Amino acid sequence: MNISRIILFFVMALLALQVMAQPKPKANSILPTEDYVKSLKKITDVMVEDVTGPCAAARYYAYTTLAAWQVNALCEHNASANQVLSQLRQYPQLRDLTIGESVVADFASIYTLLRMGEELLPSGYLLEKPKLELIQKAQLQLSPKAFAESKILADSVVKRFVKYALKDGYVKTSGYLRYTPINKPGYWQPTPPAYTEAYEPHWRMLRPFVLDSAGQFKPNPPVVYSADPKSEFYALTKEVYEASRNLTKDQLHIANFWDCNPFFLNQKGHISFGTKKISPGGHWMGITGIACNQKKLDLNNTIRTHALVAMTMADAFISCWDEKYRSNRIRPETVINQWIDPAWRAVLQTPPFPEYTSGHSVVSASVATVLTALVGENFAYTDVVEVEFGVPARKFKSFKHAAQEAAISRLYGGIHFRDSIEDGGKQGENIGEYILKKLALK
């Protein structure tokens, strides 16, 4: 490849970025950017209500936001966006769709977002109300023709996206052989208090959006299990145990801030009940919203950023879950109870799946990589996402700073070993970098 072509390519990419980054005034803009973010939050709320697990949440975020971005790209005749989207695996064919001349991008995109949520989420019916409110708002401002054309286009894309999602292999996972924990030392066992069965052991069978396969960024194998007090594994175990006993106030805050446990089980006598929070995916969608707002991105770019983040997250979960059920590694709580202290409890509740690699580490690193490219390096912000769950806000210097903190929070929380966090972080960065490169976003 000759050098001038590389430069040319670089300049063009830069230009493209610039074009996209500049909010351009539009005649038929009727909805503010925050309507998109608010609608997405509604979807998050439904997922919290439904106790949607971390993998499923990432998948829902990906399909809902990608569909919205696709509708947006069609309305805006945004060639570069269409180009990026069309590269996704087994992407639905949309050429035959007629795009009315009066379509309104902002209404059509947000409407698509809610409609996708309605279609995909178990309690999707809860989105009917915000959807009707949106329609009402649009009808007040749009001509009947503009409204109708926008809605027709959005409904068509939603239909195709529902089919697209239906064929990603998820539905088949209910027919696969269910997971049986391996009854050998060092392998994952269900953990207290609920001893829930293994979560999504077949997630690797899902079609990734960009990755070649679930195993493309297979991390190094975990540190070998050994009960020998002189072993590296024992040292890792001891580290978790000691950390939990000497947590500073800030470390405890960090653990809780990134807990992202969709279902914390409380038990008292015959009373048991869960208290619910957002999943890691929900947390990062929240961060993305904060970033778009702070950066004052226009609606189109807000939609784009969310879609790329969500899609990255979905692929990161597929990659991570591939490794989880390859290594099937035991959780610190099980080991510590066996070797060190039978009464020891992790600060956070140990989630019901194998330990390696740390999901939060993989996902946070991959998303931070993409956000850094899209929004900027050293983008300082205050994360208030957890405030509604009673956890105070935290300030971050950059997305990567946040990702690193999310990763180490799992050690403070007593649910992950250090190698799982570090290797998970690398795995996530690799995924993020690959997606940026593959989709020519950088």
Residues that bind other proteins (CB under 8 A): 49-51, 122-125, 170-172, 174-175, 177-181, 189-190, 192-193, 195-197, 263, 267-276, 337, 342, 390
- In the complex with other proteins, the residue whose CB is nearer, 250 or 388, is 388
- C-beta of residue 69 within 8 angstroms of C-beta of residue 304: yes
Toward other proteins, which CB reaches closer, 230 or 270? 270
Burial of 194 (0-12, 13-18, 19+ CB in 10 A): middle
Shortest approach of other proteins to residue 401 CB, angstroms?
29
Q: How many residues does the chain have?
A: 442
Q: What's the closest the beta carbon of residue 319 comes to other proteins, in angstroms?
A: 23
Q: Residue 202 or residue 304: which is nearer to other proteins going by CB?
A: 202
Cβ proximity of 325 and 72 under 8 Å: no
Give the nearest distance from C-beta 266 to other proteins in angstroms: 8
Closest approach of other proteins to the CB of residue 12, in Å: 43
According to DSSP, residue 95 is labeled: T
* Best CA proximity match to 63, nearest among 198, 181, 159, 132: 159
299-327 and 418-438 helices, crossing angle to 10°: 130
C-beta atoms surrounding 325 within 10 Å: 18
Instruction: In angstroms, give the least distance from the CB of 390 to other proteins.
Output: 6
Q: Which is nearer to other proteins, 373 or 391 (CB)?
A: 391
Nearer to other proteins, 220 or 267 (CB): 267
Smallest distance, other proteins to C-beta of residue 160, A: 18
Residue 276 Cβ vs other proteins, minimum distance, rounded to whole Å: 5
Supply the minimum distance, in Å, between the C-beta of residue 187 and other proteins: 12
User: Between residues 124 and 219, which has the closer beta carbon with respect to other proteins?
Assistant: 124
CB of 54 to other proteins, least distance (A): 17
Q: Which is nearer to other proteins, 185 or 193 (CB)?
A: 193
Beta carbons within 8 Å of 301's beta carbon, 6+ residues apart: 20, 21, 23, 292
Torsion of CA 353, 356, 359, 360, to 10 degrees: 120
Return the number of the residue (50 or 106) whose C-beta is nearest other proteins. Answer: 50
Fill in the amino acid letter for 30: I
| Least distance from other proteins to the Cβ atom of residue 173, Å | 8
Burial 128-159 (b: 16+ CB within 10 A, else e): eebbeebeeebeeebeeebbebbbbbbebbbe
Cβ 195 to other proteins shortest distance, Å: 4
Nearest Cα to Cα of residue 36 among 285, 382, 393: 285
User: Which residues, other chains included, contact 267 with Cβ-Cβ below 8 Å and sequence gap of 6+?
Assistant: 193
C-beta contacts of 78-83 below 8 A and 24+ residues apart: 78/300, 80/16, 80/20, 81/304
Nearer to other proteins, 219 or 282 (CB): 282
User: 318 is written with which tokens?
Assistant: 């597929």
Which is closer to other proteins, CB of 139 or CB of 338?
Answer: 338
Least Cβ distance, residue 15 to other proteins (angstroms)? 44
Q: Which residue number, 197 or 232, has a Cβ lying nearer to other proteins?
A: 197
Contact call for residues 197 and 181 (beta carbons, < 8 A)? no
Q: Are strands 394-396 and 264-268 parallel, antiparallel or unpaired?
A: unpaired
Closest to 239 (Cα-Cα) out of 260, 223, 253 = 223
Cα distances (Å, whole numbers) of residue 116 to 44, 64, 120, 166: 13, 5, 6, 12
Give the Å distances, CA to CA, from 180 to 197, 199, 375: 9, 11, 43
Distance CA 67, CA 81 (A): 12
In the complex with other proteins, which residue's Cβ is closer, 86 or 189?
189
